[in-house]
Structure 1
Amino acid sequence: MAIVHKIGRRKTAVARVYLQEGNGEIFVNGRELKEYFTTGVLQYKVEQPLTITGTKGKYNVDIKVFGGGITGQAEAIRLGISRALCEVDTDFRGQLKPEGLLTRDPRMVERKKFGQKKARKRFQFSKR
């Protein structure tokens, strides 16, 4: 199997995922997964597609990720891994789609408007 390259995005985070057959090593920006994402929740999010399809330990995943925060990066990686697994075997699509792992989350930060403190918060109204 050749290297499969897919991109995942979430908010302003962009993850480039390179998937190839191996022994289950996951590297994020040259560091191990547990070293880059220190919380268990984020590690679970990254490994979720591999766990659902039962391919944990079968593929080496090399990830380059930039932009956004750690949660957005983890979810961008999750989407990228899901897309890569679907290219490896189309049967995985039936397992990943009901879990919502193939859908790009469209929610973005709303822009700040002029004349307001934040996107929706107004300055305090004064009658007198």
Structure 2
Amino acid sequence: MLYRIAADGLVLFHLMFIGFVLFGGLLVLKWRGLIVWHLPAALWGMAVEFVHLPCPLTEWENRMRHGAGQSGYGGGFIEHYVWPVIYPAGLTPGIQLGLGAMVLAINLWGYLRLLHQRRPL
């Protein structure tokens, strides 16, 4: 039972991490101290999408699911939880690159805006 609760909690954490990767650049505009957390998270998120790196959170969740007597899953978190809700056909490498580009664009906009705010007039 504890393994299942831990796996479910990790799913929530994973989802929050993805949200932070995607929108953290906007949060940095309000709370500049978040940059030390967001910049590495955003770089990791983009690397996972662009280079197709395996995410350790997915591996940990699968291990916890196995510990709870459940079956794990192949692929990544987005492919397993998010993508079937949006596009049941599956995640293609081209779409994955598009998602990475979206993360890059949103955060680039936030950081460029941050730089613009810091410039002396």
TM-score, normalized by length of structure 1? 0.26
- Greater helix proportion: 2
Select the structure with the greater relative contact order (CA < 8 A; seq sep ≥ 6).
Answer: 2
Q: Which has the larger radius of gyration?
A: 1
Structure (1 or 2) with the greater strand fraction: 1
